[in-house]
A and B are shown apart, each in its own frame.
Chain A
Amino acid sequence: GQQVMQIPQYQHVQEGEDFTTYCNSSTTLSNIQWYKQRPGGHPVFLIQLVKSGEVKKQKRLTFQFGEAKKNSSLHITATQTTDVGTYFCAGWDNYGQNFVFGPGTRLSVLP
């Protein structure tokens, strides 16, 4: 079945450093979504990418969808302590039937 992997599993950065998490699917996706879960909270939707090669920005966050629609990345520029949390990618398969979450990347930001 469809599998979605993320690397790294954990990342510790100093405040002000950049951070990137990568998401890879075993199958082609119709879209990719990114979620953020703050410690003690629930995952909250950040963004959805649909087109091959699409790049979207939200302030310091840059999201990219690969040309083959099987991978994606989230890049945070100049991390802040408010960026702490776990970032999940999630994808729908091409039929819109299966929705799968990646295992997440847990980000710690040291002040």
Chain B
Amino acid sequence: DGGITQSPKYLFRKEGQNVTLSCEQNLNHDAMYWYRQDPGQGLRLIYYSQIVNDFQKGDIAEGYSVSREKKESFPLTVTSAQKNPTAFYLCASTMDGTEAFFGQGTRLTVV
């Protein structure tokens, strides 16, 4: 089945650690996105990529990094510079002008 997969579903991070969230899609979509969602809030764009080896900062990129070495994969690293990383992270993919498909999300908690 075609789809978009995020892993892990739950992630715990100690303060000062970097963690990487995985996002893989087999939909052959060019564009991929990372969003952060805090409880009861909307989607805030962290980074997006419209083509392999290229990506752009979204509205809240500070403390995060991404790579797009393969069309299928768009991992997000939450660095120690992100002071308040506890949130629900959603990855999505689209083709130009079409609907977005979302992964199941990763809930990151700082312990």
Which residues in A have some Cβ–Cβ distance to B below 8 Å?
A: 30-31, 33, 35, 42-45, 48, 86, 88, 90, 92, 96-97, 99, 101-104, 106
Residues of the B chain whose Cβ atoms lie less than 8 Å from the Cβ of A35: 100
Cβ–Cβ contact B94 & A99, under 8 A: yes
Cβ–Cβ contact A42 & B42, under 8 A: no
9-residue interface stretch from B10-18, B64-72, B79-87, B101-109: B101-109
Size of chain B's interface in residues, with CB distance under 8 A? 22
Which residues in B have some Cβ–Cβ distance to A below 8 Å?
A: 31, 33, 35, 40-43, 45, 50, 90, 92, 94, 96-105
Residues of the B chain whose Cβ atoms lie less than 8 Å from the Cβ of A43: 43, 90, 92, 100, 102
Instruction: Give the tally of cross-chain contacts (CB within 8 A).
Output: 46
Cβ–Cβ contact B96 & A104, under 8 A: no
Contact among B100, B103, B105 with A90 in the assembled complex (CB-CB below 8 Å): B100
Cβ–Cβ contact B100 & A42, under 8 A: no
- List 26 A–B pairs whose Cβ atoms lie within 8 Å, in order of A's numbering: A30-B97, A33-B99, A33-B100, A35-B100, A42-B102, A42-B103, A43-B43, A43-B90, A43-B100, A43-B102, A45-B99, A45-B100, A45-B101, A48-B98, A86-B42, A88-B43, A96-B97, A99-B31, A99-B100, A101-B35, A101-B42, A101-B45, A103-B41, A103-B43, A104-B43, A106-B40
Q: Complex Cα distance A32/B2, Å?
A: 24
Contact among A31, A48, A99, A103 with B42 in the assembled complex (CB-CB below 8 Å): A103
